[in-house]
Amino acid sequence: MPRITSRSWTAEQIKLLCALVDSGVSAVRASVVLKRPRLAVQNKARELGRPFADSRQVRAMRLAREADARR
């Protein structure tokens, strides 16, 4: 039987989630910051109309930032 838990999202957590999505972090990193499961973070972001970028896009953006930093 699956475990059902529900923790409400606070306004502060929602603001942080939106900031993380806007800054281009992955859902995995956001889940670590928010201390919530990855799927919960992805679903909440989608509910808010701010879905995470595709994992390939996130990786490409990160690699581009690192390349710029090396120059």
**Does pLDDT of 3 surpass 80?**
no
- Can you read off the two tokens belonging to residue 2? 């699956």
The full DSSP string for 8-61 is PPPHHHHHHHHHHHHHT--HHHHHHHHTS-HHHHHHHHHHTT-PPPPHHHHHHH
pTM: 0.75
Identify whether the C-beta of residue 34 lies closer than 8 Å to the C-beta of residue 17.
Answer: yes
Dump pLDDT digits (tens) for 18-70: 999 998 888 999 999 999 999 999 999 999 999 998 878 878 888 999 999 99
